[in-house]
Structure 1
Amino acid sequence: MTLTKRLLLLALISVLPAIVIWTYTEVSLRHAREAEVNDLVIRQVKLAGSELERIFEGIHSLLIAMGETRSVRAFDAPACGAYLKAIQERVPYLIAFVALDIEGRVRCSQSEPTEVGGNYRDRPYFQDILLTKDLVVGEYTPHFSEGNLGFHPVMPLALPLWDNDGHVVGAIVAALDLKWLDQNVKERALPADGSVTIADRDGVIVAREPFPEKFVGTKLPENSMKYLKKETFGTFETDSIDGIRRILGYSPLKVPPKDIYLTAGLSTEAAFSGINRAARQGFLLIAAALLAALSLSWLAGRIFITQPFDTMTNAVRAWRSGNYHARINLPGSPGELGLLAQAFNDLMDDVAERQRALQASEERGRLALEAGHMGTWWFDYLKGTSGWSSQAAVLLGRPATQTAVSVPEWSAMVHPDDLDQALGKLRQAVSGDGDYEDEYRVQHPSGEVRWINSKGRVFFNSVRRPIYFVGVFQDVTARRKADEQQRFLLDELNHRVKNTLATVQSIASQTLRSSPEPQTFKEAFEGRLMALSKTHDLLTRNSWRDADLRDIAKQELAPYRKTHDERVVIQGPAVDLPAPYAINFGLVLHELVTNAAKYGALSTPAGHVELRWSVARGPDWKPQLQFHWRETRGPVVTSPKHQGFGSRLIRRSIEGELSGQVSIQFDATGVSYDFAVPLP
Structure 2
Amino acid sequence: MSLTKRIVGLVVLALTPALAVQGYNEYALRTARAEAVRNEAMRAARNVAADLGQFGRGARQVLGILAGLSEIRTKDARACTAYLATVVGQVPGSFFFGVADADGKIRCNTLGSPVGAYTVADRSYFQDAMRSGGFAIGQVVSGRVTGRPTIQFAQAIPDDDGDGRPDGIVITSIDLSYLAARQANAGLPPDAALTVADPNGTILVRLPDHEAWAGKPLPPAYWKALTDHRGTVADLPGLRGNQRITAVAGGSPEDLETMTVAVGLSSASAFADIDAATRRGIVLIGLGAILAVVAALMAGRVFIRRPVRRLLAAASAWRAGELGTRTGISGPGEFGRLGEAFDAMAASLQRHEGELREEVARSRVLQERQTMMLHELNHRVRNTLTTVQSLARQTRRDDDRGERLEGRILSLSKTHDLLSRDDWGGASLRTVLENELAPFRDDQAHRFDLDGTDLDLPPRYVLALGMTVHELTTNAAKYGALSTDAGRVEVAWTVVVAESAARRLVLDWQESGGPPVREPGKRGFGTRLITGGISRELGGLVRLDFAIDGLRCSLDVPLDEPDRFTSFGGLADARPAGRA
TM-score for both structures, normalised by structure 1: 0.40
Larger Rg: 1
Structure 2 length normalisation: TM-score? 0.47
If each structure's strand is expressed as a fraction of its own residues, which one has the higher value? 1
